[in-house]
Amino acid sequence: MHIEKNKLKRAAFDLRFLLNRGYRKKGALQFVANKYVLNKDERNYLARSIFSDLILKKRQEKIIDISKIKDVLLLVDGYNVLITVESLYHEDYDSIILCDDMVIRDLNAVFGKYKLNNATEMALNKILDLISSYGPSYTCFFFDSPVSFSGKLAGLTKKIMDGYDLPGNVCLSKTVDTEIIKLSKLKNAIVATGDSVIIDKVDRVVDIPRYILELNRDNLNWTCRNL
C-alpha cells in the first residue's frame, strides 16, 4: 500500500474541516483528493478512517466494552471481523489502521474475493476464544452467501464454535448488513463489526479485532497507524 504520510495528514485535516461544516463526504473527499493528487490507496485511507465530529460523538456512545456482551445476543459481521483479525497476523499488516472513531479497520479488505487460507482457522479460534470468555447468551455469525466457499467457512466456524461450547449458529445471507441491523433492533442485540454503515444504524457495537490486538500485542509487530 503506497501512502505519503505527510501529504495525507494535510489532506485529512482538510477533509475533517469540510465534514464538520456539513459537506457530504463523497464530494468533500473528491475535492480533497484532487487538491492533493491522492492515489487510490490514499483516497481509500481517508474514506475509511476520517469522520466528522458529529459522527464520532454518536459512535462513541455506541461502541461499548466487550464485557457488556455477557448474557446478551451477539451478532457477528463474519467477513468484516474475520478478515481484520487475519490481517493482524500477516507480515504485510500495513493496511491495518486505527481510525478516527477508534475502530481497527483493514483498508485492503475485499470480502467478495475472500478465500480460506492458512490464517483462517487461527483467526476464528482467536475470535471465538475471546467471545466465549465473556459469555453471551447466544452468538450468531453472518457470512455473505454469494462469496465463494462461504458455506465451507460457515461449517468451519460452527465446528470451532461447538468446540468452545458456545451457544450459537452461523447464517449465510445475501443481505448480511440488512439482517444484522434489523435483528439487532428486534432482539436488542450487540453487534460485532467495524463496518461504518452498520455501526451508524445499530445501537451497540463491539470492536473484536481491537481487543484481540490488545490481548496479543506482545506477539504482534503492529504499530498504531492513524492521522
Residue 226 lies in a domain: no
**Is residue 23 domain-shared with residue 133, that is, in the same domain?**
no
Chain-centre distance for alpha carbon 190:
14
* pLDDT value at residue 57: 97
What pTM did the predictor assign?
A: 0.92
Alpha helices of 89-175 — where are they, by DSSP H? 120-134, 150-163
Looking at residue 205, what is its pLDDT?
A: 98
34 shares its domain with 71: no
Q: Is residue 167 located within the same domain as residue 82?
A: yes
Q: What phi and psi values does residue 57 have, to the nearest 5 degrees?
A: -60, -45
- The whole domain housing 143 covers 63-219
Burial per residue of 117-145, b for 16 or more beta-carbon CB atoms within 10 angstroms, e otherwise: eebbeebbebbbebbbebebeebbbbbbe
39 & 90 share domain: no
Judgement on whether residues 137 and 175 belong to the same structural domain of the protein: yes
Residue 42 counted as domain residue: yes
Task: Tell whether 26 and 97 lie within a shared domain.
Answer: no
Residues 99 and 163 in one domain: yes
User: Looking at the 3D structure of the chain, how many domains does it have?
Assistant: 2
How far, in Å, CA of 197 to CA of 129, rounded? 27
Residues 69 and 36 in one domain: no
With respect to residue 45, please indicate whether it lies within any of the assigned structural domains.
Answer: yes
Tens-place pLDDT, residues 108-138 = 767 678 888 899 999 999 999 999 999 999 9
Tens digits of residue pLDDT in 48-59: 999 999 999 999
Any domain includes 55: no
Give me the CATH number covering residue 154: 3.40.50
Q: Is residue 57 part of a domain?
A: no
Which cell goes with 58? Answer: 454518536
Q: Tell me, yes or no, whether 31 and 135 share the same domain.
A: no
Note whether 42 and 130 are same-domain residues: no
pLDDT at 92: 58
The rounded distance, in Å, linking the Cα atoms of 141 and 56 is 26
Report the distance separating Cα 111 and Cα 82, nearest Å.
10
For residue 162, tell me if it sits in a domain: yes
Residues 93 and 44 placed together within one structural domain of the fold: no
**220 CB-contact burial (10 Å; exposed 0-12 / middle 13-18 / buried 19+):** middle
What residues have CB less than 8 Å from 217, skipping those under 6 apart?
A: none
Determine the Cα–Cα distance for residues 131 and 208; give it in Å rounded to an integer. 8
116 φψ region: left (φ > 0), alpha (ψ -120 to 50), beta (else): beta
Mean pLDDT for each consecutive 10-residue tract of the chain (227 residues)? 81 98 97 96 93 97 97 98 90 78 85 85 97 98 94 97 97 97 98 97 97 81 56
Do 122 and 44 share a structural domain?
no
